[in-house]
Amino acid sequence: MEFHYPNGKKYSLQTNKNKQVKELKNASYAKRGMTLEEDINDTNLYYLSRGMAVIHKKPTPIQIVNVDYKRRSAAVIKEAYFRQASTTDFNGVYKGRYIDFEAKETKSDTSFPLKNFHVHQITHMDDVVKCGGIAFVIVRFSKTEEVFLLEYDYLSQFWERMGKGGRKSITKEEFIKYGYEIKLGYQPRIDYLKVIKDIYAI
């Protein structure tokens, strides 16, 4: 017996199986292609839903100067400018402590370039720490899917080393020695608060 789709095309069991396998593969690759920011956003939603912490991605402040109002329901921003330099990516509260951190990825297998940070970001994290907050960076080596949390105190030392004419990057060995590796999980995806809890005993 033959089956046909409404458009007249013949149904093939093998074709359908191949399609299902392809969809599963695509879903798997899509998940693997999640950016660090998306993974952290998912993690933050997990924390929030369980009342563990309130941590959000900071919105980037922009000034809109030109909008095309073809239809009220479909306005298109044509021109906009950053109002000011952004500080770090994420901030919030965990067990009464202010949390502030930056998230970065690198395609390098061996090191993370310090040029990926800006002076105002370093200054901001320094101010956070001086006021009793917790500041750090989360870095993912994208090729190997290794994720590390590095406290600001160590980041500032590497930044100062570069300023004195030293190395312009942080080696993976230094992340292993001074930072904390975060194994990727399912829920939460990147459990960075477990590391913070251990470091600060909170």
Q: Which residue's entry shows tokens 């200054």? A: 123
Q: Is the pLDDT reported for residue 187 higher than 70?
A: yes
Q: Taking the alpha carbons of 39, 181, 145, 123 in that order, is the dihedral positive or negative?
A: positive
pLDDT tier, 20 (very low <50, low <70, confident <90, very high otherwise): very low
Q: Is the pLDDT reported for residue 142 higher than 50?
A: yes
User: Whole-angstrom Cα distance, residue 37 to residue 34?
Assistant: 8
Neighbouring C-beta atoms of residue 97, cutoff 10 Å = 14
Reference 112, options 177, 156, 175; nearest CA is: 175
Alpha helix ranges (H) inside 62-184: 119-130, 152-163, 172-178
Domain 33-200 classification at class level: alpha beta
- Determine the longest span between alpha carbons in the chain, in angstroms: 79
Lowest-confidence segment of 52-61, 69-78, 137-146 by average pLDDT:
69-78
pTM of this structure: 0.74
pLDDT tier, 10 (very low <50, low <70, confident <90, very high otherwise): low
Partners of 114 in the β-ladder: none
Q: Is the pLDDT reported for residue 173 higher than 60?
A: yes
Q: What is the pLDDT of residue 58?
A: 81
User: Whole-angstrom Cα distance, residue 184 to residue 39?
Assistant: 9
Q: Give the tokens for residue 17.
A: 């199986």
Q: Is the pLDDT reported for residue 30 higher than 60?
A: no
Q: Tell me, what amino acid is at 51?
A: G
What are the C-alpha distances in Å from 88 to residues 92, 109, 130? 12, 24, 16
pLDDT tens digits for 69-109? 766 666 666 565 544 456 788 999 999 999 999 999 999 99
Q: What is the pLDDT of residue 64?
A: 59
> For a pLDDT cut of 90, what percent of the chain falls above it?
66
Q: Tell me, what amino acid is at 117?
A: F
pLDDT tens digits for 105-130? 999 999 999 999 999 999 999 999 99
- For the chain, the structural domain boundaries read 33-200
**Structural contact between residues 94 and 112, judged by C-beta atoms closer than 8 angstroms:** no
Q: Give the tokens for residue 180.
A: 């904390």
**Structural contact between residues 111 and 76, judged by C-beta atoms closer than 8 angstroms:** no
Q: Give the tokens for residue 130.
A: 């001086």
